[in-house]
A and B are shown apart, each in its own frame.
Chain A
Amino acid sequence: MKPLKRIRSRTAVLPHANIDTDRIIPARFLTTTERVGLGRHAFEDWRYLADGSDNPAFELNRPEARGCGILVAGHNFGCGSSREHAPWALLDYGIQAVLSSEIADIFRSNALKNGLLAVVVSESEHRYLLDHPGIELCIDVSTGCIELPDGGRFGFEMDAFARHCLLEGVDQMGYLLQHDDAIQRHEQRVERAA
């Protein structure tokens, strides 16, 4: 994973609460055996009309939402399935960060492991962001701060380890492999007890 220190981009807003992972990437696209190429199917069933053309009513299809790297989404974003295809699809589509007042556990874990910044903000800050689509934000991972265009700031909480992994681009599998001795000791202890 590449280090991720800050993201500066405009926001696109999807205000719906409980956007589930089937919405983000429908199950029929999960037969892939690769991580790449899912961006064209992100939000497929909202995004395209029956004839395959863009659905003009879908928020992310509006001209002002094009090229926005920060997605502000309704409460409880990413609920449902554990498919990592959801963050893969969003990243491939061009989303670098998701902000919401709640983000489902497995989605958040998957997102952060792929360098997709998943950030929970307070309800009032969430309201503000939902009401102001298209503003440019700077999300600073090291300080845990979101800078607004008017100079205002929102702070956000992030697990210290998750932050460290993003900033340094830590390879978590490599980190786990370094604990091999402790893992072996655990296995021996359990086998002795059995």
Chain B
Amino acid sequence: MNAPRTLFDKLWDAHQVVPESDTAPAVLYIDLHLVHEVTSPQAFSELRARGLKLRRPDRTLATLDHSTPTLPADADGHRPYTTPEAEAQVEKLQANCREFGVKLHDWDSDARGIVHVIGPELGATQPGMTIVCGDSHTSTHGAFGALAFGIGTTEVGHVMATQCLLQRKPKSFAIHVDGELPKGVGAKDLVLHIIATIGVGGGTGHVLEFRGPAIEALSMEARMTMCNMSIEAGARAGLIAPDDTTFAWLEGRPSAPRGPDWDRAVAHWTTLRSDAGAHYDREVRIDATLVRPTVTYGTHPGMAGALDAPVPEATNDQEHRALEYMRVTAGKSIAGMPVDVVFIGSCTNSRLPDLRAAAEILRGRQVAEGVRMLVVPGSEAVRREAEAEGLHEVFTAAGAEWRVPGCSMCIAMNGDLAQPGQLVVSTSNRNFEGRQGKGARTVLASPETAAASAVAGRLSDARSVLKTSEAAA
């Protein structure tokens, strides 16, 4: 009998072209390579310099997202790029994709969007695959039971030329989430709680597998939020075993298998789960019933806690400096802190259910005086669906800006950014010093907390905002 294997073991074994040895890493086959404008130009140049073709254009998919403006083009079709370099970078990707025969979701594509939003939407992301991209949040695709991880530009070149990577097998780390999340508490709260528990470097060298009843109960979008943030604990990747929720979400998407192929695929995908008794290098148990709306109070995603809990005392210089930078006082909750900017978007939380949750809170309410709120859908598809439901009108009526899809203020390289000292409540994934603009202070939160904070003008629990207006009605 074969030894029981984890989901990760199965994915790894199925993609080893050459197994690893003491002296050499494995040659690992990559099923899907996602490409964007920021981390690809030097890799294309490398291919050109070596006179190489891109090996599998059919396994390569490109989009524009990082450097792209989120304000629409003017009447002449000119887009308001933040710098000529940003525009040149986009043009470079357009030219490279033409030259190497890569399918690009360009400005005119109705599927363009953030790379980690469109892969799943198109059904290009499928269980059992290996997926890479020159972007650390590639871990998002692990929500489908795919081994998905971020790579650097040199490796982007390796995949372009050979469809393979040289990889040492990471260790495995099971995160069992027992029980049920309380009402009003979601995936973003849960994953911030987990990162705070295991630490910002707690996953380094490991592939996380989120499992247990609380994970099985999550929607695909919520699972993507979980896996997306795996990298914020330093993990190589995050995984969730595919199940009926996964299959129902994928069925009928443009690149998903059809007819008998679909049935065969589902039969295979159903085997993609950890066997009973499989060995993990590390395990931790999380009680979902104890999770509350959770936010970050410091300058890395591990400095997170319940919104209503007192901020812990700094235990070292780094944490002391972080609290000072954030203008946060240990021993006091950060609830009630005045907010300058609210950002709803990013590959973490820009999908339709995220926008619905935020709109639910903003409906019939106003963004507080002096607060700037940006809502940036993750893709053209999300934008269309949101507009069909009238969500954009809810946002604009409340005083928020409704933008064109892109990474926007998550990475703040397209001109969407906060000013020094401003406090941003953000549904994105990183609260590093200056991440959203030099000197800007970031509080990571769920779409619900972000929207409630926009209305109150202060960092607020969505449940109390909803309760207050119920009482007033």
A173-B46 contact, Cβ under 8 Å, with A22-B435, A83-B39, A102-B201: yes
Do A80 and B205 contact each other (CB < 8 Å), given the known contacts A31-B86, A161-B23, A179-B27? no
Q: Are A82 and B158 in contact (CB under 8 A)?
A: no
Among residues of B, the one whose C-beta sits closest to the C-beta of A114 is: B154
Provide the residues of chain A in CB contact with B353, threshold 8 Å. Answer: none
A17 at the interface (CB under 8 A from B): yes
> Given contacts A80-B136, A175-B166, are A75 and B433 in contact (CB under 8 A)?
no
In the complex, what residue of chain A is closest to B59 when comparing beta carbons?
A187
Q: Do B18 and A182 touch across chains, with their CB atoms under 8 A apart?
A: yes
CB of A126 within 8 A of chain B?
no
Question: Please, how many angstroms separate the alpha-carbon atoms of A23 and B23 in the complex?
Answer: 34
Q: Is the CB of A76 within 8 A of B201?
A: yes
Contact across chains for B22 and A160 when beta carbons are under 8 A apart: yes
Task: Tell me the minimal C-beta distance from A145 to chain B in angstroms.
Answer: 20
Q: How many residues of B contact A (CB 8 A)?
A: 66
Is B25 part of the contact surface with A, judged by Cβ < 8 Å?
Answer: yes
Q: Tell whether A186 is near chain B: CB-to-CB under 8 Å.
A: yes
In the complex, the answer to whether B430 meets A80 with C-beta atoms within 8 Å is yes
Q: Give the contacting residue for B432; candidates A22, A110, A113; CB below 8 A.
A: A22
Contacting B at CB under 8 A, from A1-60, are: 15-18, 20, 22-23, 26-28, 30-35, 45
Q: Contact between A161 and B42 (Cβ–Cβ < 8 Å)?
A: no
| Chain B minimum-CB-distance residue to A163 | B23
Contact A79-B38, Cβ < 8 Å, known A31-B83, A84-B154: no
Q: Whose C-beta in chain A lies nearest to the C-beta of B236?
A: A105
**CB-CB contacts below 8 Å: B158-206 with A:** 158, 161-166, 168, 170, 200-201, 204-205
Specify which chain A residues have a CB less than 8 angstroms from the CB of B158 in the assembled complex.
172-173, 176
Measured between C-beta atoms, what is the minimum distance from A54 to chain B in Å?
16
Q: Is the CB of A76 within 8 A of B200?
A: yes
Q: Which of B104-112, B277-285, B313-321, B445-453 participates in binding chain A? A: B313-321
| Contact between A33 and B89, CB atoms less than 8 A apart | yes
B153: which A residues are within 8 A, CB to CB? 35, 84, 110
Q: Which of B38, B154, B231 has the most CB of A within 10 A?
A: B154
Q: Does A183 count as interface, using CB distance less than 8 angstroms?
A: yes
B392 interface residue per 8 A CB criterion: no
User: When chains A and B are docked, how far (Å) is the Cα of A79 from the Cα of B89?
Assistant: 25
With A31-B83, A31-B86 as contacts: A160 and B23 at CB distance below 8 Å = yes
Residue-wise interface mask of B (268-306) relative to A, using a CB-CB cutoff of 8 A (1 in contact, 0 not) = 000000000000000000000000000000001010000
Q: A28, A102, A109, A161: which has the most chain B beta carbons within 10 Å?
A: A28
Q: Is the CB of A45 within 8 A of B434?
A: yes
Interchain CB contact (< 8 A) of A16 among B134, B165, B318: B318
A26 to B29, CA, bound (A): 32
B318–A18 touching, CB < 8 Å: yes
Find residues 80-114 in chain A having any chain B CB closer than 8 Å to their own CB.
Answer: 80-84, 87, 102, 104-106, 109-110, 113-114
A134 at the interface (CB under 8 A from B): no
Do residues A79 and B201 form an inter-chain contact, with CB atoms below 8 A?
yes
CA distance A27 to B416 in the complex (A): 12
Chain A positions within 8 Å of B318 at CB level: 16-18, 74
- By a CB distance below 8 angstroms, the chain A residues around B25 are 159, 161
Given A76-B234, A106-B152, does the pair A179, B164 have CB atoms closer than 8 Å?
A: yes
| Cβ-based interface call for B413 (8 A) | yes
Least CB distance, A88 to chain B, in whole angstroms: 9
Identify which of A80, A161, A179 contacts B17 (C-beta below 8 A): A179
Q: How far is the CB of B86 from chain A (nearest CB, A)?
A: 5
B5 to chain A, nearest CB (A): 18
Contacts of B65 in A (CB 8 A): none
Q: Is the CB of B300 within 8 A of A20?
A: yes
B356 adjacent to chain A (CB < 8 Å): no
Binding site for A on B (CB under 8 A): 17-18, 22-25, 27, 29, 38-39, 41-42, 45-46, 50, 66-67, 83, 85-86, 88-89, 92, 134-136, 138, 150-155, 157-158, 161-166, 168, 170, 200-201, 204-205, 231, 234, 236, 264, 300, 302, 316-318, 321, 411-413, 430, 432-435, 438
A-B contacts, 27 listed (Cβ < 8 Å): A17-B316, A18-B318, A20-B430, A27-B411, A30-B38, A30-B67, A33-B41, A33-B45, A34-B42, A80-B136, A80-B430, A81-B135, A81-B136, A82-B136, A82-B151, A83-B38, A84-B42, A105-B205, A105-B234, A106-B150, A106-B152, A173-B158, A176-B162, A177-B161, A179-B18, A182-B18, A183-B164
Residues of A within 8 A of B (CB): 15-18, 20, 22-23, 26-28, 30-35, 45, 74-76, 79-84, 87, 102, 104-106, 109-110, 113-114, 159-161, 164, 172-173, 175-177, 179-180, 182-183, 185-187, 190, 194
With A30-B66, A32-B89 already in contact, 20 other A-B pairs whose C-beta atoms are closer than 8 Å: A18-B201, A30-B67, A30-B413, A35-B42, A35-B153, A76-B201, A80-B136, A81-B411, A82-B134, A83-B152, A105-B204, A105-B205, A110-B155, A113-B152, A113-B155, A173-B161, A175-B166, A176-B27, A177-B161, A183-B29
